[in-house]
Amino acid sequence: MTNQPESDLELPATSGKTFSLSAARGKPLVLYFYPKDNTPGCTTEAIQFRDAYNELTSLGFEVYGISRDSLKSHENFKAKFTLPYELLSDSEEKACSMFNVIKMKNLYGKQVRGIERSTFVIDADGKIAKEWRGVKVPGHVDDILAYIKSK
């Protein structure tokens, strides 16, 4: 992964929208990849982004959550936890491939392909300014805010 995605990316988003990297240029973004809607770690992470959303947007950033779940699953997850930001469905793993977040993981003793919890801060020029991989949920959103405020 270079510090700028080579190609554009379009993904279906909640609220009937379509997300495109090229259309998002000019505004910094926080893109966070998570394994699955309605699982304990992913729910905690989504709520932490929800609770920090006003602060992130006041700093000029837009937030997007990305997983391989369907749009229907995302809509339910978003409504259940009143998430103020859009969730992007990457069922074809286009974003996952572009950002290289699919890893082999152990699940109940079996090797499975899954999303490695990762977050990317994308600057207004569309370049990756900072990335976190193998994210542990506790304190992660605070780390992102600290990084953004230090710039």
Residue 108 has a pLDDT of 82
Residue 96 bears catalytic tag: no
Q: What is the mean pLDDT of residues 130-136?
A: 96
> How is the chain split into domains, by residue range?
10-150
Name the 3-class secondary structure at 129: strand
Q: Does residue 9 register a pLDDT over 50?
A: yes
Sequential DSSP letters for 41-100: HHHHHHHHHHHHHHHHHHTT-EEEEEESS-HHHHHHHHHHTT--SEEEE-TT-HHHHHTT
Give the domain 10-150 fold.
Glutaredoxin (3.40.30)
- Which of the following is catalytic: 13, 31, 42, 52? 42
Which tens digit of pLDDT belongs to each residue from 69-105?
A: 999 999 999 999 999 999 999 999 999 999 999 998 8
Which tens digit of pLDDT belongs to each residue from 54-74?
A: 999 999 999 999 999 999 999
Q: Residue 106 — very low, low, confident or very high, per pLDDT cuts 50/70/90?
A: confident
